[in-house]
Amino acid sequence: MQFPNYFADADANFDEADFVIFGIPYDKTSSFRKGSIKAPDDIRKASWNFETYNLRTDVDIKDLKVHDYGNLDVTKDNPSIMIKKVRGFTSKILEKNKFPIAIGGEHSVTSGIIQAYPKDIAVLILDAHMDFRNIYENEKYNHACVTKRISDHVSIKNIVVLGARSAEKEEYIDAKNQNLFYIDSFYIKKNGIKKAINEIESILKNKKIYLTLDIDAIDPSYAPGTGTPEPFGITPFDVIEIIDSFYSNLIGFDVVEVCPNYDNGEASIIAAKIIRNVIEKSSLVI
Ligand code: MN
Ligand code: MN
């Protein structure tokens, strides 16, 4: 059976939609494995696997107004042009009071999205990596610098990195010196995701939260198809717990760094299901 080339059941038009999905097929700065350029369409394909009704959230996506814009034309741009286009398109969505859902692409795309938001938001980053280098391979919009770029726009005290377990030493020391709050995956394994969530809640209080999911936060045994896999990750259940805990404050979401060439579709399936969960839970409060 041939499925449509848009995200499953996202058949509202832009004007009527509450949620706008858009793909950002960009992987120019990826360091280890390229291929996240293919993720937006692969995740769309994977999304048709699921029933429209989700037993867990008791929401049927058919009842929601979701638009899939397609992909932004950024593939060949240099990073700063890509960032500008992403910021511009995200602004259009926010001006109309719609909820943006972006599908990367590599993690650098999130820098552009965040620039479209007011500076007083909080950003919750799920990632195996700190991404806190100031510059990498002569490029400040490299995907290894996204947390740093977010901190150019949003106060570092309103940023949380969850699931981190990899950093370069200099980057780690800089993050420590600047009091970047992070919770590593080993702490979560030992103390449980609930304890981590309580700590995040006390830091982000009742702020509006943008959530960015670098799929490599999740253990590569669940989601092998990613650019820089890092063992000892969090689980897809942990991600669902995060969404369930913060959905009433969420103001946008992206999933990045899925690299479909490197698995049998697992990473795209998980990404598609998590997108569905974000939309379903957020629909309860918009
Ligand atoms: Mn990342
Ligand atoms: Mn990462």
* 216 Cα: distance to centroid of ligand 2 (angstroms): 5
Work out the average pLDDT over 215-234.
98
278 or 1, which is more confident? 278
Q: What is the DSSP letter of 143?
A: G
CATH number for 73: 3.40.800.10
Distances 5 to 98, 161, 179 between C-alpha atoms, Å: 22, 33, 43
* 218 Cα: distance to centroid of ligand 1 (angstroms): 12
Domain assignment present for 150: yes
**According to the model, what pLDDT value does residue 286 have?**
85
Domain assignment present for 87: yes
pLDDT at 2 over 90: no
Domain assignment present for 242: yes
Distances 135 to 139, 141, 143, 185 between C-alpha atoms, Å: 6, 7, 10, 25
Task: Name the H helices within the chain.
Answer: 39-47, 79-95, 109-115, 146-153, 169-177, 185-191, 193-204, 236-246, 266-282
Domain assignment present for 9: no
* 55 Cα: distance to centroid of ligand 1 (angstroms): 31
* 268 Cα: distance to centroid of ligand 1 (angstroms): 16
b/e map 259-275, b = 16+ CB within 10 Å: bbebbeebbbbbbbbbb
* 184 Cα: distance to centroid of ligand 2 (angstroms): 13
Domain assignment present for 261: yes
Nearest ligand to the C-alpha of residue 143?
1
pLDDT band at 4; cut points 50, 70, 90? confident
Nearest ligand to the C-alpha of residue 133?
1
- Domains in the chain: how many in total? 1
**According to the model, what pLDDT value does residue 32 have?**
83
pTM for this structure? Answer: 0.98
pLDDT at 1 over 70: no
Domain assignment present for 12: no
Domain assignment present for 219: yes
* 32 Cα: distance to centroid of ligand 2 (angstroms): 11
Domain that holds residue 192: 19-282
Residue type for 200, please? I
Domain assignment present for 149: yes
Tens-place pLDDT, residues 44-64: 999 999 999 999 999 999 999
